[in-house]
Amino acid sequence: MVFHIERPDSAIRPALQAKIDNLTKPKGSLGRLEELALQIGLIQQTLSPELRHPQNIVFAADHGIVEEGVSIAPKEVTWQQVCHFTHPQGTGGVNFLCRQHGFKLKVVDAGVDFDLPRDRGIIDLKVGRGTRNFLHCPAMTEAEMEQCLAGGARVVRQCAEEGSNVLSFGEMGIGNTSPSSIWMSLFTGIPLAECVGAGSGLDSAGIRHKLDVLQRSVENYSGDGSPRDLIRWFGGYEMVMAIGAMLQAAELKMVILVDGFIMTNCILAASRLEPAVLDYAVFGHCGDESGHKRVLDALGAKPILNLGLRLGEGTGAICAYPIVESAVRMINEMDDFRSAEITKYF
């Protein structure tokens, strides 16, 4: 797929900044809220930005690399959690946060190795029953990568048709911190050992084994070294689908709420295809997974929260949403000095 992502026109920046600076407060006193209001105003090209119908999209798939014992959790947890998310009572981690903050939840089967129940509202975009083991061969073919990119873009277009202009993305895929760590290292130059963490709970011996497997996987790589090739060789179906979703959201000038370690590495990979995607990204939090802060720093990102989260599913991004909403309310609902008849004192 080819995406056409334009950087926001900066011509409106002085007017946005002037509006923010003239609200009834000391200049800069609302800190990060002011920065977020400016960014969202630039994305939407308006002095009165708005957030409409937020949705959280969870992409789910399995990974061949779990055959090497890189995760403490068994592979079947992927399909079990997908069923949990889509249970009528909705009692998963992402469910209560979506309810609390008014998000519609979409769950997408990108490549789960299970026949999921189709009466739960799961969006069926299954590319395969899990990727191949990238220790020995590419995780996916070129055609499968294209199918993932197109699938993610399709879901985002559906959200846009439903009136959404702000989306968060999450994932469910046992083993997906492994491809994330490899992408992080290859796209930033950070040593792989500094990118590999405990994932869902590995002990120190487990982390050493995981690092050994991933190092051998990188050593066995025989592709052309291009971003597209690295994405398909080491990626997961759900991760590449998220990349397609992020790129489509940026093309449609939507606000992208970035979640934890996996989704941060997805937008890192997306930025190697289309650098302008980062202009549309709001980074929700710095998580507790080893390497997350390092990749955020490499991107020059300023996460909103630091709560020690490492669940994924989009939970950290959704938790940060009220702060983003506060920024939009600030620029729209605060008076300026002239209207309020308050002496401007700076």
- CATH code of 303's domain: 3.40.50.10210
- What is the structure's pLDDT at 290? 82
Residue type, 131: T
Spatial CB neighbours of 267, under 8 Å, sequence gap ≥ 6: 243, 246, 256, 258, 277, 278, 281, 299
The answer on 162 and 36 residing in a single domain is no
Q: Does residue 108 contact residue 130 with C-beta atoms inside 8 Å?
A: no
Q: Which of 329, 333, 325 is nearest to 103 (CA)?
A: 325
The answer on 215 and 275 residing in a single domain is yes
With vertex at residue 321, the alpha carbon angle to CA 100 and CA 123, rounded to the nearest 5 degrees, is 70
In a domain, 177, yes or no: yes
- What is the structure's pLDDT at 250? 98
The answer on 40 and 106 residing in a single domain is no
The answer on 85 and 43 residing in a single domain is no
Sheet containing 281-283: which strands, arranged edge to edge? 123-124, 104-111, 55-61, 166-172, 255-258, 281-283
Q: Are strands 55-61 and 166-172 parallel, antiparallel or unpaired?
A: parallel
Q: Does residue 328 contact residue 49 with C-beta atoms inside 8 Å?
A: yes
Q: Which of 176, 149, 209 is nearest to 78 (CA)?
A: 176
- What is the structure's pLDDT at 346? 77
In a domain, 3, yes or no: no
- What is the structure's pLDDT at 344? 86
The answer on 266 and 302 residing in a single domain is yes
- What is the structure's pLDDT at 150? 98
In a domain, 4, yes or no: no
In a domain, 204, yes or no: yes
Catalytically active residues are 313
In a domain, 127, yes or no: yes
In a domain, 5, yes or no: no
In a domain, 289, yes or no: yes
- Domain of 334 in residue numbering reads as 10-49+330-340
The answer on 291 and 190 residing in a single domain is yes
With vertex at residue 247, the alpha carbon angle to CA 244 and CA 251, rounded to the nearest 5 degrees, is 135
Query: pTM above the 0.75 mark?
Result: yes
The answer on 101 and 28 residing in a single domain is no
The answer on 45 and 72 residing in a single domain is no
The answer on 194 and 106 residing in a single domain is yes
How far apart are alpha carbons 224 and 228 in whole angstroms? 9
Q: Does residue 268 contact residue 292 with C-beta atoms inside 8 Å?
A: no
| CATH at residue 26 | 1.10.1610.10
DSSP helix/strand/coil, 172 = strand
Looking at the chain, list the stretches that DSSP marks H as alpha helix, in order from N- to C-terminal side: 13-21, 31-44, 77-85, 93-101, 142-161, 177-188, 204-220, 227-234, 237-251, 261-273, 292-299, 315-333, 337-340
Q: How far does the chain reach from its first CA to its final CA, in angstroms?
A: 51
* Number of structural domains found in the chain: 2
- What is the structure's pLDDT at 345? 79
The answer on 156 and 68 residing in a single domain is yes
The answer on 39 and 176 residing in a single domain is no
Q: Which residues pair with 311 in a beta bridge?
A: none
Regions in the chain scoring below 70 on pLDDT: none
In a domain, 345, yes or no: no
The answer on 63 and 41 residing in a single domain is no
